[in-house]
Structure 1
């Protein structure tokens, strides 16, 4: 038996129906709303209040429509989420083509992803639920595969490389966002919290029971800049993913 959503309609996303067909014009009076406006309002709501706040009822209220009328534009919340993910994927500033420096291009792709995820904090958590790829997402994939073409990876490895890279960025942004919430809740700066943690770890390591930890702490900055940390980890990720070349 197929799953059903809260409206009683079949749940799940049909990619052919979603992406291969434009919104069909209706007979009679022009529609009061359109899919693009609905998606924009859903994204704005998620940006402001989190993905849990995005319900069909809440989005309908924001555009001044009845909840049931929203289903004539978007059949279920799963489809709405797919549309939202592809909408924000359109934020990517894609060059006309690769620069010829594939490492630099991969870094730039990752930087773009990180910036987009910080603008839309719900996105990292939404990506694992993504069921299909829309036109904006496909454009990013196509550009990335063009960047990776000179690396010498086979087709599957190129696809997996971008998937793992995206997963790394999403995971790191989730960590950064959690740290920001922790700092805000503590009422201190990130540097103050890191210094307090470092003092604790050094006092523990000084007992001699953790020699490797003590050595690592000696070489670690007490207040690493978030961008520098991201870039350092990103370079390691890229090196690891392309090591076969």
Structure 2
């Protein structure tokens, strides 16, 4: 049943998933499915858990927590692209299904070398996931919008760029003008994602002598 729901969502979007559609796919009665999954929300949770089974974990963490968390972030992004509907139904309420627990246990194992309190490790995991989800949602929205344009994306950007430069030239936005006068920010989505993820991980990296303490000797932890 869950496999059928995932197939339907992958092909036609999450709105196409219904008990009637799943029953037709499986060749069974619609009402019989409610004996197994009483609510659509329960089905969504099972679908998210099925997608979470696609993570590939080696036998043990590498010992480099940044590298391991980066790998997890890229795996999450790839899974969300294979299943575009995930960004619509993903929620922290689905954090205790079997494959979600497998993911959490692996993530915490990867963070063993990071000498910060357990609560901060959970914040790091949540923030990495949140960053990936926000990035994918934005990329998907941009792609969907581009498909509906009556002109090319390059033409669209040219018009918007000309408008922006005209506004900046008016003198009403001096701070924005100063920003644009500096080196151009990354425009490639892959480069932006890598930079965003790196800066997030930087914020959780203890600093100071021995990589752990500040000048006054106190523990330095992320804000």
Smaller-chain TM-score bracket:
0.7 to 0.9
Aligned length in residues = 208
Q: Do the aligned residues in 1 keep the contact of 2:64 with 2:113 (CA within 8 Å)?
A: no
CA RMSD of aligned residues (A): 2.0
Matched, 1:229 2:201: no
**2:110 and 2:12 mapped to 1: Cα distance?**
36
Name the residue aligned to 1:44.
7
Unaligned runs of 5+ in 2: 207-220
Unaligned runs of 5+ in 1: 1-37
Distance 1:188 1:103, change over 3 A: farther
Q: Which runs of 4+ in 1 moved over 6 A?
A: none
**1:123 and 1:192 mapped to 2: Cα distance?**
31
Deviation string, structure 1 residues 47-96 (Cα, Å, up to 9, x no partner): 12222221212211111111111123323222211110000001111122
Give the TM-score normalised by the residue count of structure 2: 0.85
**2:123 and 2:185 mapped to 1: Cα distance?**
35
Name the residue aligned to 1:196.
159
**2:59 and 2:2 mapped to 1: Cα distance?**
27
Out of 191, 200, 206, the position equivalent to 2:169 is 206
Give the TM-score normalised by the residue count of structure 1: 0.78
Distance 1:76 1:153, change over 3 A: same
Deviation string, structure 1 residues 190-233 (Cα, Å, up to 9, x no partner): 44433332222122111221122122223464882111111111
Matches for 1:110-129 after TM superposition, within 5 Å: 110-128=73-91
Deviation at 1:110, TM superposition (A): 0.5
Matches for 1:18-97 after TM superposition, within 5 Å: 38-97=1-60
Name the residue aligned to 2:115.
152
